[in-house]
Amino acid sequence: MNLELTFSLKKGRFQLNANIQIHWQQPSTHVIFGKSGIGKSHLLRCICGLENPTGVISWHEDHNHVHWLDSERRMNMACHLRPVTMVFQDNQLFSHLNVEENLRFAFDRATANEHDWQHCIDALKLRDLLSHQVQQLSGGQAQRVALARAILSKPKLLILDEPLASLDWQSKQDVMDYIKRLNHEWQLPVLYVTHDIHEVLTLADQVIMLHDKNAMTQVQTPRPLIDILQDENHPFYGLGKSSILIAHNTQHQQDGLLHCQVGEQLMRLPIAQISDKGASLSSKEHTHPTNLKTVAEENKLRLCIAANDVSLALSEAKDSSIVNTLQGKVSRIEQTTSGQYLIQLKVDDQYLLSEISAYSFKRLNIEMWQPLFAQIKGVALQRCR
């Protein structure tokens, strides 16, 4: 699946320029990130057909190539004909309809079937809310209903415009857990707009940055989140240089620690630290019994690790209180502007970043492709998902 954007939108002194391709090699979440007022929502509205830019917007799927916009040929597909559904911050549910009627409004106009209906209701825990009026719903409940209505319209692309901005912490966590699962349960690519770093860390596979200068905003080429975090000049203010590791097989618990694997190597994570204020780590919850991809996803954790919380050693420590030691090989060496050294280790098929002093770098005599052991304190591990 591929979305090609080559257009310009002018509104007064403001101008938005895009010349990128957004490619979903497999269904995933691309997060559009930038400061407030930079034009993130304008970008989404152009894609949906709610704005009238000049240029080309086209959708590629398998061998089909459909132009949604081609201003040179005076072709502009109406927004209701584009296979896109957009969920807004204020959910925009119909206040004169109850929850079930809101959902049926989308269901009756799409190709969704009864299996889709039951799966959606159960996955989003809406069965007990079907008879409720919209005014009776909490913010998190209303946003789950809005997501369900969007899914039941069977779009080719789901677009979410800061859908969590007005929710409390626990409601955000609940909704984010489901958004991430949309990719795998429904094979649905997602475009997600936010200016919240935590949402980026939790949801993003790729990040699309927006930059502005002199009232002109440029849409940047998508980049993997993992690559951006390891860039010394990454744009996430307040967050240092970091790595994301994917831990698998998060099933076994012992002595207050969750045992999991990074590649073939064992990690032990403090359950209280990883569980996100009570979020379940069980693969059984929320899992559709016939979907093996979902089972695999539920057995994963996305861990964010600050580079300055990773120490390096030439040999594996056997008499240390630090229980997480990962062996890898040096794949990148970079001296920072502050005189520190960033050392990137290839750990199986993943990458871990460590920030050490120039003194430590020289003392260890670090060279490219040298085997090293990375030591990570359990308290330094933060669950992104």
Same-domain check for residues 22 and 57: yes
Contact between residue 369 and residue 329 where contact means Cβ atoms under 8 Å apart: yes
CB 62 within 8 A of CB 234: no
Which of 162, 188, 222 marks a domain boundary?
222
**Same domain (yes/no): 28, 70:** yes
**Which residues, at least 6 apart from 209, have a Cβ–Cβ distance to it below 8 Å?**
33, 34, 220, 223, 235
Q: Are 374 and 352 in contact (CB under 8 A)?
A: yes
Same domain, 15 and 164: yes
The CATH number of residue 247's host domain is 2.40.50.100
- Block residue for tokens 């079930």: 100
Q: Are residues 296 and 335 in the same domain?
A: yes
Is residue 233 assigned to a domain? no
User: What does the pLDDT profile of the chain (385 residues) look like in tens digits?
Assistant: 899 999 999 999 999 999 999 998 887 899 999 888 899 999 999 999 999 999 999 999 888 899 999 999 999 999 999 999 999 888 889 999 999 999 999 999 888 899 989 988 988 889 999 999 999 999 889 989 999 999 999 999 999 998 888 788 888 888 888 888 777 778 889 999 998 888 898 899 999 999 998 889 999 999 999 888 888 777 787 678 889 898 887 667 777 788 889 989 998 888 765 554 333 333 333 333 334 344 345 567 888 898 999 999 999 988 888 889 999 999 999 998 889 999 999 999 999 999 999 999 999 999 999 999 999 977 677 666 5
Contact between 241 and 342 under an 8 Å Cβ cutoff? The reply is yes
Does residue 129 sit in the same domain as residue 271?
A: no
DSSP string, 69-132: EEGGGTEE--GGGSSEEEE-TT----TTSBHHHHHHHHHTTSS--HHHHHHHHHHTT-GGGTT-
Write the DSSP symbol of residue 381: -
